[in-house]
Structure 1
């Protein structure tokens, strides 16, 4: 049993690492095509970002692999595969529930990580990326990576979710994590500065966090930032 769990954890870590390389590499390529010189002179920083991110992939994969083993071997978790197990309207509701729960956890742990002692001990690794690049999405100190690694594995024990809906949640998590750090805005102006952009986080909003540190802590939504008075609006991209 121990060997099976270990193999599952290692396999999941490899999957997370591959997902990171493909997603960050894809957005880095898009950056090169759209803004050719944006990452010029940042090669040493990018190498550090990749190193920390691959270590984070290992940490993310361990709880995910244990949970995947328990689900496959013993039916643990509330992941379901038969779409008829719940009404169809529940599928988008479950996706929103996962995103909101993840966003809430991220907001409060992120603010916690900005306390001076924790920032110096862990979160400074992420903010060492000045400016952040597409490779910085998972560039975390191991202690910070651990706080992020436990969220989705915990939620699958609490909130029923179809396996395809869970896959979509993970895809959104990956895309938003990478695109929010790549140094330019991929979403159209009408979305970013329109009614939807007033509640959704994109690269323009997250850029202000990397500029000022004490605001814009959210991941997907601006709800907690607005409620807690930490929303300082949209940022600017200095290198464009």
Structure 2
């Protein structure tokens, strides 16, 4: 039994690594086209971001691979594959539940990471990216990677979700993790400054966190930042 579990953990680690390389690499390439020269002087920083990120892929991949094996072979988790298991209206609701739960966990662990000791030990690795690039999405110290890696594996035991909807959640998590760190705004200004955009986190919002550190801690939504009065709006370059 041990060998299939190990193979599943290894396979998932490879998948997470490839997902990171393809997504971050794709948006880094896009940056060279949209913002020529923007990353020109950040070569050593990007090498460091890639190294830390590839180390993080194992921390994310191993538990995910073990749980994936348990789901397929022993029926672990609340993940289901039959479209009729729950009403169709629940499909988008489950996505929102996962994103809200993940956002809540991220906000509070992220704020904790900014306390002096955990920042010095772990979170400083992520903030060494000045400015962040598309390669910084998973550039974490192992301690910080662990706090992020437990979220989705824990949620699949608690909240029912169709396997396809789980794929959408992971896709949103990956794309927003990368686009929030590109150093420039991918999304159109009309969306960023709209009523909906005022509650979403994009590079315009997260860039300010990397500039000031003590604000804008959220991942997907600005809800907790608004509630806790840590929302400082958008970075200066995106105010208009």
Aligned partner of 2:228 in structure 1 is 228
Answer yes or no: is the 8 Å Cα contact 1:207–1:236 preserved in 2: no
Deviation >6 Å, runs of 4+: none
Aligned partner of 1:202 in structure 2 is 202
Q: Deviations over 1:112-167 (max 9, x none)?
A: 00000000000000000000000000000000000000100000000000000000
After TM superposition, the structure 1 stretch with the greater mean CA deviation from structure 2, 1-10 or 34-43, is 1-10
Distance 1:237 1:65 in 2: 41
Answer yes or no: is the 8 Å Cα contact 1:201–1:222 preserved in 2: yes
Distance 2:5 2:125 in 1: 30
How many angstroms does 1:194 deviate by?
1.3
Aligned partner of 2:164 in structure 1 is 164
Distance 1:237 1:32 in 2: 19
Aligned partner of 2:71 in structure 1 is 71
Aligned partner of 1:184 in structure 2 is 184
How many angstroms does 1:236 deviate by?
3.5
After TM superposition, the structure 1 stretch with the greater mean CA deviation from structure 2, 2-11 or 18-27, is 2-11
Q: Deviations over 1:41-97 (max 9, x none)?
A: 100000000000000001100110110010011010010001111000000000000
Aligned partner of 1:57 in structure 2 is 57
Let me know the Cα RMSD of the aligned residues.
0.9
Extract unaligned runs of 5+ from structure 1: none
Extract unaligned runs of 5+ from structure 2: none
TM-score by length of 2: 0.98
What SS class does the counterpart of residue 52 from structure 1 fall into? Answer: helix
How many angstroms does 1:237 deviate by?
4.8
Aligned partner of 1:21 in structure 2 is 21
Matched residues, number: 238
Answer yes or no: is the 8 Å Cα contact 1:123–1:141 preserved in 2: yes
Q: Deviations over 1:157-196 (max 9, x none)?
A: 0000000000000000000000000010011101101111
Aligned partner of 2:5 in structure 1 is 5
